[in-house]
Amino acid sequence: MAILEVRDVVGGYGEVLILNGVSILCGNNEIVSIVGPNGAGKSTLMKAIFGLIGIRQGSVVFEGKPIMGMRASHLVKLGMGYVPQEKNVFPSLTVLENLQMGAFIRKDDIAPAMERVFELFPFLAKNRKATAGVLSGGGRQMLALGRALMLEPGLLLLDEPSAGLAPQVRDEIFEKIVEIRHRGVSILMVEQNAKKALEMSDRGYVLVMGRNRFEDTGKALLANPEIGRLYLGSA
Protein backbone atom coordinates (compact mmCIF):
# COMPACT_ATOMS: atom_id res chain seq x y z
CA MET A 1 0.00 0.00 0.00
CA ALA A 2 1.23 3.49 -0.80
CA ILE A 3 2.06 5.64 2.20
CA LEU A 4 1.09 8.72 0.15
CA GLU A 5 -1.32 8.98 -2.76
CA VAL A 6 -1.88 12.28 -4.57
CA ARG A 7 -4.59 12.27 -7.24
CA ASP A 8 -5.37 14.99 -9.79
CA VAL A 9 -4.40 17.86 -7.50
CA VAL A 10 -5.19 21.38 -8.68
CA GLY A 11 -4.01 24.33 -6.62
CA GLY A 12 -1.75 27.32 -6.26
CA TYR A 13 -1.59 30.75 -4.70
CA GLY A 14 -4.82 32.72 -4.63
CA GLU A 15 -6.27 32.84 -8.11
CA VAL A 16 -3.01 31.67 -9.71
CA LEU A 17 -3.06 27.93 -10.41
CA ILE A 18 0.36 26.27 -10.38
CA LEU A 19 -0.73 22.63 -10.13
CA ASN A 20 -2.99 21.46 -12.93
CA GLY A 21 -3.90 17.88 -12.09
CA VAL A 22 -0.76 16.31 -10.58
CA SER A 23 -0.82 12.69 -9.42
CA ILE A 24 1.96 10.84 -7.56
CA LEU A 25 2.40 7.75 -5.40
CA CYS A 26 5.00 7.11 -2.72
CA GLY A 27 5.17 3.54 -1.46
CA ASN A 28 6.25 2.36 1.95
CA ASN A 29 10.03 2.58 2.36
CA GLU A 30 10.53 4.14 -1.07
CA ILE A 31 12.55 7.10 -2.25
CA VAL A 32 10.50 8.97 -4.84
CA SER A 33 11.90 12.03 -6.62
CA ILE A 34 10.06 14.86 -8.36
CA VAL A 35 12.13 16.62 -10.98
CA GLY A 36 11.50 19.04 -13.83
CA PRO A 37 12.27 22.54 -15.07
CA ASN A 38 12.03 25.66 -12.93
CA GLY A 39 8.44 26.76 -12.49
CA ALA A 40 7.05 23.25 -13.00
CA GLY A 41 5.27 23.30 -9.63
CA LYS A 42 7.53 20.90 -7.75
CA SER A 43 7.91 22.88 -4.52
CA THR A 44 4.29 24.03 -4.75
CA LEU A 45 3.23 20.39 -4.77
CA MET A 46 5.20 19.71 -1.59
CA LYS A 47 3.56 22.68 0.13
CA ALA A 48 0.13 21.51 -1.02
CA ILE A 49 0.71 18.01 0.38
CA PHE A 50 1.87 19.47 3.70
CA GLY A 51 -1.14 21.76 4.03
CA LEU A 52 0.74 25.02 3.48
CA ILE A 53 -1.30 26.10 0.45
CA GLY A 54 -4.86 25.37 -0.59
CA ILE A 55 -5.97 22.62 -2.95
CA ARG A 56 -8.96 23.32 -5.17
CA GLN A 57 -9.49 19.86 -6.63
CA GLY A 58 -8.15 16.36 -6.24
CA SER A 59 -7.24 14.27 -3.22
CA VAL A 60 -4.31 13.59 -0.91
CA VAL A 61 -4.31 10.36 1.12
CA PHE A 62 -1.67 9.58 3.76
CA GLU A 63 -1.53 6.07 5.23
CA GLY A 64 -5.02 5.42 3.94
CA LYS A 65 -6.55 8.59 5.43
CA PRO A 66 -7.69 11.65 3.44
CA ILE A 67 -5.67 14.64 4.65
CA MET A 68 -6.59 17.39 2.19
CA GLY A 69 -7.31 20.56 4.12
CA MET A 70 -5.49 19.45 7.27
CA ARG A 71 -3.02 21.86 8.84
CA ALA A 72 0.67 21.11 8.90
CA SER A 73 0.58 21.02 12.70
CA HIS A 74 -1.82 18.09 12.51
CA LEU A 75 0.08 16.28 9.76
CA VAL A 76 3.25 16.09 11.85
CA LYS A 77 1.23 14.34 14.56
CA LEU A 78 0.09 11.81 11.96
CA GLY A 79 3.71 11.04 11.04
CA MET A 80 4.61 13.34 8.15
CA GLY A 81 7.74 15.47 8.26
CA TYR A 82 8.74 18.35 5.99
CA VAL A 83 12.12 19.99 5.41
CA PRO A 84 11.74 23.18 3.35
CA GLN A 85 14.55 24.52 1.22
CA GLU A 86 14.95 27.73 3.22
CA LYS A 87 14.47 28.82 6.83
CA ASN A 88 14.63 25.22 8.02
CA VAL A 89 16.54 25.81 11.28
CA PHE A 90 16.41 28.33 14.13
CA PRO A 91 19.71 30.21 13.63
CA SER A 92 19.81 31.78 17.11
CA LEU A 93 19.40 28.43 18.90
CA THR A 94 22.03 25.77 19.44
CA VAL A 95 22.04 22.48 17.58
CA LEU A 96 20.71 20.74 20.68
CA GLU A 97 17.96 23.31 21.16
CA ASN A 98 16.92 22.97 17.50
CA LEU A 99 16.58 19.22 17.91
CA GLN A 100 14.58 19.69 21.10
CA MET A 101 12.30 22.10 19.24
CA GLY A 102 11.80 19.43 16.61
CA ALA A 103 10.24 17.21 19.28
CA PHE A 104 8.14 19.93 20.93
CA ILE A 105 4.84 18.02 20.58
CA ARG A 106 6.19 14.80 22.10
CA LYS A 107 5.19 14.02 25.66
CA ASP A 108 7.47 11.00 26.05
CA ASP A 109 11.21 10.71 26.56
CA ILE A 110 12.98 12.16 23.51
CA ALA A 111 16.44 10.94 24.51
CA PRO A 112 16.30 7.75 22.36
CA ALA A 113 15.27 9.77 19.30
CA MET A 114 18.06 12.26 20.00
CA GLU A 115 20.62 9.48 20.18
CA ARG A 116 19.42 8.05 16.86
CA VAL A 117 19.83 11.45 15.25
CA PHE A 118 23.33 11.81 16.71
CA GLU A 119 24.20 8.30 15.46
CA LEU A 120 23.05 9.24 11.97
CA PHE A 121 24.76 12.64 12.06
CA PRO A 122 27.96 12.51 14.15
CA PHE A 123 28.60 16.11 13.08
CA LEU A 124 25.55 17.22 15.06
CA ALA A 125 26.66 15.29 18.12
CA LYS A 126 30.09 16.91 17.96
CA ASN A 127 28.61 20.39 17.51
CA ARG A 128 25.57 20.09 19.74
CA LYS A 129 26.46 23.27 21.66
CA ALA A 130 27.16 25.34 18.53
CA THR A 131 24.69 28.00 17.43
CA ALA A 132 22.91 26.88 14.27
CA GLY A 133 23.55 30.20 12.56
CA VAL A 134 27.31 29.60 12.44
CA LEU A 135 27.04 26.20 10.74
CA SER A 136 27.95 25.70 7.11
CA GLY A 137 25.22 25.06 4.56
CA GLY A 138 25.77 21.32 4.83
CA GLY A 139 25.71 21.47 8.62
CA ARG A 140 22.43 23.37 8.59
CA GLN A 141 20.94 20.84 6.17
CA MET A 142 21.97 17.98 8.45
CA LEU A 143 20.39 19.81 11.36
CA ALA A 144 17.18 20.38 9.41
CA LEU A 145 16.99 16.68 8.60
CA GLY A 146 17.76 15.73 12.19
CA ARG A 147 15.14 18.10 13.54
CA ALA A 148 12.49 16.57 11.28
CA LEU A 149 13.51 13.08 12.41
CA MET A 150 12.95 13.92 16.07
CA LEU A 151 9.25 13.15 15.62
CA GLU A 152 10.16 9.82 13.96
CA PRO A 153 7.99 10.33 10.88
CA GLY A 154 6.89 7.60 8.51
CA LEU A 155 7.20 9.96 5.53
CA LEU A 156 9.68 12.78 5.02
CA LEU A 157 9.10 15.49 2.42
CA LEU A 158 12.38 17.09 1.29
CA ASP A 159 12.43 20.25 -0.82
CA GLU A 160 15.75 20.73 -2.66
CA PRO A 161 17.97 19.13 0.02
CA SER A 162 21.18 19.73 -1.96
CA ALA A 163 20.53 23.31 -3.02
CA GLY A 164 23.61 25.53 -2.70
CA LEU A 165 25.88 22.78 -1.39
CA ALA A 166 29.36 21.92 -2.63
CA PRO A 167 29.52 18.59 -4.54
CA GLN A 168 31.23 16.66 -1.73
CA VAL A 169 28.76 17.91 0.88
CA ARG A 170 25.86 17.31 -1.50
CA ASP A 171 26.90 13.67 -1.92
CA GLU A 172 27.12 13.25 1.85
CA ILE A 173 23.56 14.59 2.24
CA PHE A 174 22.34 12.15 -0.41
CA GLU A 175 24.05 9.28 1.42
CA LYS A 176 22.28 10.29 4.62
CA ILE A 177 18.94 10.36 2.81
CA VAL A 178 19.49 6.79 1.63
CA GLU A 179 20.39 5.79 5.18
CA ILE A 180 17.21 7.44 6.49
CA ARG A 181 15.24 5.28 4.05
CA HIS A 182 17.09 2.19 5.29
CA ARG A 183 15.85 3.10 8.76
CA GLY A 184 12.26 2.71 7.57
CA VAL A 185 11.32 6.24 6.56
CA SER A 186 9.73 6.84 3.15
CA ILE A 187 11.15 9.82 1.24
CA LEU A 188 9.43 12.15 -1.22
CA MET A 189 12.00 14.55 -2.59
CA VAL A 190 12.09 17.55 -4.91
CA GLU A 191 15.64 17.92 -6.19
CA GLN A 192 17.43 20.21 -8.64
CA ASN A 193 20.15 17.62 -9.29
CA ALA A 194 17.86 15.40 -11.33
CA LYS A 195 20.49 12.84 -12.31
CA LYS A 196 21.61 12.14 -8.77
CA ALA A 197 18.05 12.14 -7.48
CA LEU A 198 16.87 9.59 -10.04
CA GLU A 199 19.94 7.41 -9.49
CA MET A 200 18.99 6.95 -5.84
CA SER A 201 15.22 6.78 -6.32
CA ASP A 202 12.93 3.78 -6.62
CA ARG A 203 10.63 5.87 -8.80
CA GLY A 204 10.50 9.36 -10.22
CA TYR A 205 8.15 11.91 -11.71
CA VAL A 206 8.89 14.67 -14.19
CA LEU A 207 6.58 17.65 -13.83
CA VAL A 208 6.15 20.27 -16.54
CA MET A 209 3.83 23.28 -16.14
CA GLY A 210 2.07 21.74 -13.17
CA ARG A 211 1.29 18.45 -14.91
CA ASN A 212 2.75 14.96 -15.01
CA ARG A 213 4.97 14.59 -18.07
CA PHE A 214 6.78 11.33 -17.30
CA GLU A 215 6.77 8.74 -14.52
CA ASP A 216 8.74 5.51 -14.19
CA THR A 217 11.47 3.89 -12.14
CA GLY A 218 14.44 6.12 -11.49
CA LYS A 219 16.67 3.99 -13.72
CA ALA A 220 14.15 3.98 -16.58
CA LEU A 221 13.80 7.77 -16.48
CA LEU A 222 17.58 8.15 -16.56
CA ALA A 223 17.75 5.86 -19.58
CA ASN A 224 15.04 7.74 -21.50
CA PRO A 225 16.85 9.81 -24.17
CA GLU A 226 14.04 12.39 -24.41
CA ILE A 227 14.23 13.06 -20.67
CA GLY A 228 18.01 13.24 -20.84
CA ARG A 229 17.89 15.73 -23.72
CA LEU A 230 15.16 17.95 -22.28
CA TYR A 231 15.67 17.82 -18.50
CA LEU A 232 19.01 16.25 -17.59
CA GLY A 233 21.38 18.19 -19.81
CA SER A 234 22.29 15.14 -21.90
CA ALA A 235 23.16 15.36 -25.57
* Residue 175: CB atoms within 10 Å: 11
CB 117 within 8 A of CB 108: no
**pTM (2 d.p.):** 0.94
**Per-residue confidence band for 160, with pLDDT thresholds at 50, 70 and 90:** very high
**Per-residue confidence band for 213, with pLDDT thresholds at 50, 70 and 90:** very high
CB 76 within 8 A of CB 147: no
8 membership: H or E segment, kind and range = strand 2-13
Task: For domain 2-231, give its CATH number from 3.40.50.300, 3.30.365.10, 1.10.3720.10, 3.30.830.10.
Answer: 3.40.50.300
pLDDT averaged over every residue in the chain: 95
Q: For position 33, what pLDDT does the model report?
A: 98
Q: For position 161, what pLDDT does the model report?
A: 96
**Per-residue confidence band for 234, with pLDDT thresholds at 50, 70 and 90:** very low
Q: For position 235, what pLDDT does the model report?
A: 35
C-alpha angle 131-137-140 in degrees, rounded to nearest 5: 45
Q: For position 233, what pLDDT does the model report?
A: 59
Does the pLDDT value for residue 230 go beyond 90? no
C-alpha angle 100-103-109 in degrees, rounded to nearest 5: 90
For 147, half-sphere exposure in the C-beta direction (CA atoms, 13 angstrom radius) is: 28
Q: For position 229, what pLDDT does the model report?
A: 83
pLDDT digits (tens, 9 = 90+) for 20-47: 999 999 999 999 999 999 999 999 999 9
Q: What residue spans define the domains of the chain?
A: 2-231
